[in-house]
């Protein structure tokens, strides 16, 4: 009876050493194969592990992550209860099964994946349940090991890039039936609810909106005048600290105090893919976006180095990368879709997707500001995004396209010519209005639009906004068009070597702190300029005044 099987099925961690006959395994895998798969994608893949060496390596991965999990437990009692739990039988179970899905099926049109391609993963989960039930029926069982660093898991198993594992499954003869209940319940860790949680929805709600706690700015005019007087009163010739004086004035004015402090600085890198990248407009292929996101998460990119150097917390947002990343504490998943549409043929995103970007960007600020941060730097990563940024700059500033288009990641002269032609063609095909949001949706990128939303929210919360290079400045331009008061909070960290950035800063009446010929993005300019913010704050707070040091002022 199906119902008996459903009741009997257990997530098993205790196995006898009895071998699993091939016929049992084959029958179970056939049951998995009979599971539903979205759009008949047939994308579930299985790998069998019998090698003791491989099992041991997986066990090490488990042990590492289990120790990490233990650190998240608050009380010592719970910690020792957790430690006593047997959560895997990797080296005891005769068979290891790795169930995966093949992401490459998404390279072609796939029914049932337009809203979310999580459905491919869900199909593999259906297969897992079928296997579980089949093993149970045959007198065997399975245990799902998910406490793993999936990135390393893929590496040690040498799984192809497009193959995504859902976990390691221990298969064998159960040594116990846990008194016919889940093991965690038997051991008093948690009880399973008696009945399924079901609710009926019989009316429609309005769209949810981000709750934002707008901080009412202090009396800026007054603080500003007092700050100017304090800066002028420091023991230095008037104006001799140059742009640091402007910076101190801006920081003090935004934070509404004569003695500002930078608290819990954060840097957020928003990453997304671009349909336009398929038209040869970049020197690099699209997969570099996801490879660099993994690099950020592994701590190996330039932005990691500079953030570590200056003790800036770093978070990465998947705003729309063409990849499903393994869960990671430093990754915020705000994926709108797996890359924009190519704006050569259609709008990069819909109006609704643009609004979602603005909302999701705002949510990121709400999230990273929880610790009391008053300074957030914005960075980006997205192969092809200089194309999107250049077109937006051209249309929003009314400047000639060739002045707005540059080499991006480093295209050669012929490729630059082709990039300009493609962008010109896309612009000539555009029939829509020149209203800001229409342009943002048609030519924007998910990372840039989320940055725009994040900047608007950061301004509402009265934070210091650190603007990075060319692409981030275009995101700022879009946000500025929606709220020109943004300017008060924005600090332009560097002038990029990307053609167009100098002109764009000029248009915005903005003067960048640094000019180092960078053209990397990632927020590197923000991190590098960060010590200057600290110097500005420090001289304002710690430098003696003519009065306190009894130094004569200059002749008037």
Ligand X SMILES: O=C(O)c1ccc[n+]([C@@H]2O[C@H](COP(=O)([O-])O)[C@@H](O)[C@H]2O)c1
Ligand Y SMILES: Cc1cc2nc[nH]c2cc1C
Binding site for ligand Y (CB under 6 A): 284, 288, 292, 381, 409, 520-522
Q: Nearest distance from residue 418's CB to ligand X, in Å? A: 12
Q: Choose among ligand Y, ligand X, none what residue 328 binds, the Cβ cut-off being 5 to 8 Å by kind.
A: none
Q: Which of 328, 385, 450, 499 binds ligand X (CB under 6 A)?
A: 385
Alpha helices by DSSP H, listed for 72-117, are 76-84
Which is the catalytic residue, given 245, 353, 498, 522? 522
Cβ proximity to ligand X: between 136 and 304 the closer is 304
Residue 408 interacts with which of ligand Y, ligand X, none, CB < 5 to 8 Å by class: ligand X
Closest approach of ligand X to the CB of residue 416, in Å? 10
Of 464, 468, 466, 530, the closest CA to residue 496 belongs to 468
Strand duo 313-320 + 141-145: pairing: unpaired
385 contact choice in ligand Y, ligand X, none (CB below 5 to 8 Å, kind-dependent): ligand X
494 interface partner picked from ligand X, ligand Y, none, CB below 5 to 8 A per type: none
Distance of CA 193 to the CA centre of its chain: 34
User: How many CA atoms within 13 Å lie on the side-chain side of 70?
Assistant: 16
Residues linked to residue 318 through DSSP beta bridges, in sequence order: 271, 333
Three-class secondary structure of residue 101 per DSSP = strand
CA 477 remoteness from chain centre: 22
Of the ranges 21-29, 81-89, 377-385, 455-463, which one interacts with ligand X (CB under 6 A)? 377-385
- Answer for which of 12, 37, 266, 282 binds ligand X (CB under 6 A) is 282
Length of the chain: 556
Exactly one of 386, 450, 489, 499 binds ligand X (CB under 6 A); that residue is: 386
Q: What is the 3-state secondary structure (H, E, C) of 358-419?
A: HHHHHHHHHHHHHHCCCEEEEEEECCCHHHHHHHHHHHHHCCCHHHHCCCCCCCCHHHHHHH
DSSP 546: T
Nearer to ligand X, 92 or 468 (CB): 468
Site string for ligand X, 473-512 (x = CB under 6 A): -----------------------x-x--x-----------
Chosen from ligand X, ligand Y, none, partner binding at 252 (C-beta under 5 to 8 Å by type) = none
CA distance 532 to 247: 9
**The two three-digit tokens of residue 177, written as one number:** 């039936």
To ligand Y, the closest distance from the beta carbon of 384 in angstroms equals: 10
Closest contact distance (angstroms) between CB of 408 and ligand Y is 8
Considering the complex, what minimum distance in angstroms separates the CB of residue 483 from ligand X?
Answer: 23
Handedness of CA 78, 80, 83, 86 (dihedral sign): negative
Between 342 and 409, CB nearer to ligand Y: 409
Q: Taking CB within 5 to 8 Å according to partner kind, which of ligand Y, ligand X, none is near residue 384?
A: ligand X
Q: CB count, 10 Å around CB of 286?
A: 20
Distances (CA, A) of 524 to 66, 163, 519: 34, 32, 9
d(CA 27, CA 134) in angstroms, rounded, equals 7
d(CA 37, CA 34): 9
For this structure, is 547 an active site residue?
Answer: no
| Residue 384 CB, nearest approach to ligand X (Å) | 5
User: Minimum CB separation from ligand Y for residue 306, in Å?
Assistant: 12
Cβ neighbours of residue 413 under 8 Å, at least 6 residues apart? none
Residue 90 CA: distances (Å) to CA of 172, 395, 401, 434: 10, 58, 59, 60
The secondary structure of residue 284, as a DSSP letter, is: S
Among ligand Y, ligand X, none, the one that 12 touches (CB under a kind-dependent 5 to 8 A) is: none
Tokens representing residue 402 in the block: 């060739």
Of 126, 131, 144, 125, nearest to 12 (Cα)?
A: 144
Nearer to ligand Y, 288 or 348 (CB): 288
Could you give the CA distance from residue 285 to residue 276 in angstroms, rounded to a whole number? 11
Question: Smaller CB distance to ligand X: residue 13 or 335?
Answer: 335
Q: Note the Cα 33 to chain centre separation in Å.
A: 34
Nearest distance from C-beta of residue 210 to ligand X, angstroms: 26
Q: Does the footprint of ligand X cover residue 295 (CB under 6 A)?
A: no
Could you say which of 251, 336, 358, 383 contacts ligand X (CB under 6 A)? 383
Closer to ligand Y by CB, 252 or 521: give it. 521
Of all helices (H) and strands (E), which one includes residue 99?
strand 95-102
String marking each residue 519-538 x if it binds ligand X according to CB under 6 A: xxxx----------------
Q: Is 294 in the site for ligand X (CB under 6 A)?
A: no
Query: Shortest gap between Cβ of 541 and ligand X (angstroms)?
Result: 31
Write the CB contacts of 153 (distance below 8 Å, at least 6 apart in sequence).
Answer: 58, 61, 165, 168
- Tell me which stretch binds ligand X (CB under 6 A): 22-30, 134-142, 326-334, 467-475: 467-475
Residue with smaller CB distance to ligand Y, 189 or 284: 284
Which residue is listed with tokens 């229409």? 438
Nearest approach in angstroms of CB 347 to ligand X is 19
Residue 375 in tokens: 């300074």
- Using CA atoms, how far residue 5 sits from 20, 138, 194, in Å, is 19, 10, 18
146 binds ligand X (CB under 6 A): no
Q: Which is nearer to ligand Y, 12 or 386 (CB)?
A: 386
Contacted entry of ligand X, ligand Y, none for residue 10, CB cut-off 5 to 8 Å set by kind: none
Q: Pick the stretch among 231-239, 327-335, 383-391, 457-465 that binds ligand X (CB under 6 A).
A: 383-391
Q: Which residues bind ligand X (CB under 6 A)?
A: 282-284, 380-387, 408-409, 468-471, 496, 498, 501, 519-522
Active-site residue list: 522
């Amino acid at each position: 009876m199906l119902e008996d099987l459903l009741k009997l099925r257990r997530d098993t961690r205790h196995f006898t050493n009895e071998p699993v006959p091939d016929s049992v395994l084959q029958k179970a895998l056939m049951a998995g194969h009979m599971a539903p798969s979205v759009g008949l994608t047939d994308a579930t893949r299985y790998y069998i592990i019998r090698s003791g060496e491989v099992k041991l390596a997986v066990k090490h991965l488990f042990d590492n992550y289990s120790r990490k999990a233990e650190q998240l437990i608050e009380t010592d009692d719970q910690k020792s209860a957790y430690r006593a739990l047997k959560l895997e039988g990797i080296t005891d179970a005769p068979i290891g099964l790795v169930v995966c899905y093949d992401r490459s099926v998404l390279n072609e049109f796939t029914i049932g994946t337009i809203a979310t391609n999580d459905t491919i993963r869900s199909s593999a989960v259906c297969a897992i349940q079928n296997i579980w039930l089949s093993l149970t029926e045959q007198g065997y069982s399975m245990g799902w090991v998910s406490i793993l660093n999936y990135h390393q898991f893929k590496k040690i198993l040498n799984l192809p890039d497009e193959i995504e594992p859902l976990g390691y499954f221990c298969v064998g003869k159960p040594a116990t039936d846990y008194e016919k209940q889940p093991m965690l319940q038997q051991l008093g860790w948690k009880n399973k609810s008696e009945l399924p949680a079901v609710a009926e929805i019989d009316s429609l709600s309005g769209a949810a909106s981000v709750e934002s706690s707008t901080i009412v700015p202090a009396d800026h005019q007054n603080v500003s005048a007092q700050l100017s007087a304090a800066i002028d009163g420091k023991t230095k010739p008037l104006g001799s600290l140059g742009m640091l004086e402007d910076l101190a004035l801006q920081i003090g004015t935004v934070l509404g105090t004569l003695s500002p402090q930078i608290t819990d600085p954060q840097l957020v890198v928003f990453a997304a893919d671009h349909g336009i990248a398929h038209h040869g407009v970049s020197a690099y292929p699209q997969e570099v976006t996801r490879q660099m996101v993994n690099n950020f998460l592994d701590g190996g990119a330039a932005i990691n180095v500079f953030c570590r150097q200056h003790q800036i917390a770093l978070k990465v947002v998947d705003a729309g990368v063409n990849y499903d990343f393994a869960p990671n504490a430093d990754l915020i998943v705000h994926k709108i879709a797996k890359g924009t549409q190519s704006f050569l043929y259609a709008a990069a995103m819909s109006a609704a997707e643009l609004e979602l970007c603005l909302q999701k960007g705002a949510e990121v600020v709400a999230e990273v500001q929880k610790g009391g941060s008053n300074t957030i730097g914005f960075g980006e990563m997205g192969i092809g995004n200089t194309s999107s940024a250049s077109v937006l700059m051209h249309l929003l500033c009314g400047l000639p396209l060739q002045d707005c288009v540059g080499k991006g990641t480093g295209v050669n002269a012929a490729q630059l010519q082709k990039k300009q032609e493609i962008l010109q063609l896309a612009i000539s095909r555009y029939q829509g209005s020149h209203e800001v949001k229409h342009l943002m949706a048609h030519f924007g990128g998910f990372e840039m639009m989320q940055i725009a939303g994040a900047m608007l929210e950061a301004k509402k919360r009265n934070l210091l906004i650190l603007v990075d290079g060319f692409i981030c400045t275009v995101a700022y331009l879009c946000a500025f068009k929606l709220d020109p008061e943004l300017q008060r909070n924005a600090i332009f960290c560097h002038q990029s070597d990307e053609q167009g950035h100098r002109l764009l800063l000029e248009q915005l009446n903005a003067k960048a702190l640094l000019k180092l010929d960078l053209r990397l993005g990632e927020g590197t300019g923000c991190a590098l300029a960060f010590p200057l913010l600290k110097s500005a704050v420090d001289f304002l707070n710690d430098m003696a005044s003519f009065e306190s040091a009894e130094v004569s002022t200059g002749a008037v």
